[in-house]
Structure 1
Amino acid sequence: MKKITYICILSIAMILVACDADNAATDGNFASEDGQSGSLARFTILNDYLYTVDYQNLNVFNISNNENPVLVNSINIGFNIETLFAYKTYLYIGSRNGMFIYDAATLETPQLLSSVQHFTACDPVIANETHAFVTLKGGNQCGVNLNVLEVYDVTDVSNPVLISQRNLAGPVGMGFYGDYLFVCDDEVKIFDISDPEDMNLVHAIDTESFDVIIQDDLLILIGAQGVYQYALDSNDIQNETLLSTLSL
């Protein structure tokens, strides 16, 4: 039931992003993509290929014919696979036991570049050009009772290096906004990551949520009780404006 609820909430959030984008000037990325998911997503699209993860595999579908997607590859990764995030041709895969980085430059046959192991915990991953950010949430079904935000230097994607750790209350989903990282915790915490080795907490939004989607200056928070849209101000990170609330 929880899985169905999450899928419904995420679908609604993605529709809200798309509707907002129809009325705004967009740059190439959003206008040409098929949508934007949060950091808890289990699928992503590169060109005419859909990548999905299940409990232990990375699955590759050719979707050049939308009415007849074809499974062209299935790669065993391990167990407890949870999330999938794409940056350029790199696929960052989070599991309860570690992070895996694949290169999908050859679209049908992604190649494993590197992996890192950590204590058993729920594990979303997002990344940019130089760093990968990993939230580890413990307790309940997630493993040991440790809650940490980890930062890896991935300048060399074949050799991720852990450069920073920060204890949090129970971190889950994340999103980038320029030099800021939004982390869903006991509140939505906003970190200045201009220096990823020395992140500073600069603001927090008191909204209960488990994932975040950011597109341009639009922030969508997805929680068990609803979906919340905020307008962000790039000149004043502490000045968000609540646009709408969709209760569930």
Structure 2
Amino acid sequence: MSVFDHFRKEERPFVERALEMLTQVERKQAMRLTDFLDPRQMSIFQSLASQVQDVQVSASGGYEGAERVRVLLHPDYLPVEPEDYRLVLLRIVADQRFHALQHRDVMGALLHVGLKREKFGDMLVDDDCFVVVAEEVAEFVCTQVTQIHRTPVSFERVAWEAFTPPAPRFTEKTITVPSPRADAVLGEVYHFSRAKALVPIRAGKVKVNWRVVEDPSHPLQAGDMVSLAGFGRFKVLDVTGPTRSGRLRMLVGLVD
């Protein structure tokens, strides 16, 4: 069985690049640093590590619990320091009295200036807003992003030791569904008919825990992070027993 048989067809280009990087580190005995990866891509690197000898896969997104991380591949005898990940934390300075910045606002502004998604990590949007960026693009972000959603902004670097990440922010919503199937839950969360929910699922536009799910009957459970392209993300916070009518009650958190 080929190593590629363990991954989806559309993941093959990434798997090939990951294997190439791991092999180079094994052969040259030198560190290699990736761009920012999502949790699924991170898990691919971890699963491929067994294909090479004496290579460690370390990761950091700047703070404990970061979703997007840079992976550092290194010989197992080489120590890794925090600065090796080349991460910069930027605070977004903005007057939010008239418009509270949202995750999609920050994402749109960064992409609008030509920044690739893999060059920035988590965006932490709260009363204070922060974004983690690769060191090599930090100055570019500071000089090129001057407004977000028509709000003038500037950036200031923040020392990691002075940073306390805000708690994840969700808009909670209680739904009832006949079953925990992905199509049923998506339909209730986004007010689709079940038939309409089938379309994005079968088109590969739905991810559960950062992995594409094309099976409408895929069961969701507490802790699952679900994304629908063009609509956003939600987390299944809790699943409780059936209602009197026999439906399941779910508490979901829409990611702000």
Please confirm whether the aligned pair reaches a TM-score higher than 0.5, indicating the same fold: no
Structure (1 or 2) with the larger CA radius of gyration: 2
Question: Is the helix fraction higher in 1 or 2?
Answer: 2
Question: Is the strand fraction higher in 1 or 2?
Answer: 1
